[in-house]
Structure 1
């Protein structure tokens, strides 16, 4: 990580384990991710990458070990509580409200951070502040022209862009993206990569991604997870040159793209 030894990391994972019955999925992961860092987690299918994401975000409780967000232990916190502390994530499968408009999807994701919460008597349609904030995010994710369309009619890449907009709408400073370019064409991937680069400026980004072009183009640091253990962490050029990584994963992954 790029922060100094005395700086509190954005995320600190300490001796993290997760078992499902007798199956050990995460086996003693230790990782520190600095504030403002773009960090990719790569590895073969079944390595435990999505499980690790679910442990960090509170969807699964760890069998043992700790996850800290800006120094605060996340043990026992529900996903919505972790989100309100400044961590937001996307999923492998796009999560949007397909029958609501693109604008309404983004506006919904802003409600808590804008103080609406459980106020049933507030008419959100009358809030210019809320409307302006939603329109600003639509501009960031290049969906202003699609503003009033049902989200379900967007192209696949546009739906992923909308989900990224929803992910950043609450003002989180740690953004976790699970395979953001999965299933995309080269042109769609280029669009999403540039979008991610823009909207995560000055934020901490953690992503799981199989496309090595995306990983080496975006990440400041890379961690390689194999069978629930991190076998290497470093800058892209260090990871690319690591013999253990080449043997376990990277060589085959790069060959698959050519």
Structure 2
């Protein structure tokens, strides 16, 4: 079995996944099969269970029942760092960076962790050639070379989000989870960011939660629609857009709201 994908060509698979908190069932029998190298957007109304699903996949929560397979290997019940070392990396909605460290140092920390390295009093970080080289490569990938030695606290919001993506991919994982990566960005920042995501995830499997329908339809090969803890559709952007059940449950109101916002902006 390849480290990049399972023998059936799937990088990530959810089988009848369920998660309950007390008597409340948040994820209700969700199943999903993501092909290796595929870009998938996960959409759905607020409260649909998207963050819970991400927490289950990345090991921050354990499922009540069901299975999660990464590259054909069962990972449900594993700790987050164990899952990470098997090739899955995740970003978060809330910044998970070290604000007093530089851009380069943040990336290097992520590379060190992924390689199983630890800080020590008798070993200089500057001597870790492979670690430093990988960190420099990621810097170029996320287009923050000119901010290499800048402290994170002094970056713009968009630059911090780019760094978060850099930290996520630093370990070389082949399955990437991005949680609302373009939230809070301007239109031009979003366009540049989507282009960067496409480049840094080339050849990797991407699962992203996203509310901006422009980003969703411009980035995803397929779209999974989660409503009340169930995947009600998983198809190409064109087919999801035309799906009556999706329009009724979610997409129609979102597109209408987006169109109203664009019309108001044009009138202003």
Instruction: Give TM-score, length-normalised by structure 1.
Output: 0.95
* Partner in structure 1 of residue 106 of structure 2: 105
Superposed displacement of residue 94, structure 1: 1.7
Task: Extract unaligned runs of 5+ from structure 2.
Answer: 1-5, 260-268
* Partner in structure 2 of residue 238 of structure 1: 239
Separation in 2, partners of 1:84, 1:122: 23
Separation in 1, partners of 2:71, 2:118: 24
Superposed displacement of residue 192, structure 1: 1.1
SS at match of 1:164: helix
Query: Number of matched residues?
Result: 254
Separation in 2, partners of 1:77, 1:204: 20
* Partner in structure 2 of residue 30 of structure 1: 31
Question: Is the counterpart of residue 174 in structure 1 residue 141 in structure 2?
Answer: no
Work out whether residues 45 and 250 of structure 2, in 8 Å CA contact, stay in contact via their aligned partners in 1.
Answer: yes
Separation in 2, partners of 1:150, 1:47: 36
Superposed displacement of residue 251, structure 1: 0.9
SS at match of 2:193: helix
| CA offsets 1:39-88 (integer angstroms, 9 cap, x no match) | 11100000000000000111011011010101111132100100000000
CA distance change for structure 1 residues 12 and 233 in 2, over 3 Å: closer, same or farther? same
Separation in 1, partners of 2:209, 2:121: 37
| CA offsets 1:159-197 (integer angstroms, 9 cap, x no match) | 000000000000100000000011111011112101100
Separation in 1, partners of 2:106, 2:60: 22
* Partner in structure 1 of residue 73 of structure 2: 72
Calculate the aligned-residue CA RMSD, in Å: 1.4
SS at match of 1:111: helix
* Partner in structure 1 of residue 266 of structure 2: none
1:43-82 alignment runs, 5 A limit: 43-82=44-83
Work out whether residues 7 and 72 of structure 2, in 8 Å CA contact, stay in contact via their aligned partners in 1.
Answer: no
Separation in 2, partners of 1:149, 1:40: 32
Superposed displacement of residue 137, structure 1: 0.8
Separation in 2, partners of 1:115, 1:252: 46
Question: Is the counterpart of residue 88 in structure 1 residue 89 in structure 2?
Answer: yes
Superposed displacement of residue 120, structure 1: 4.9
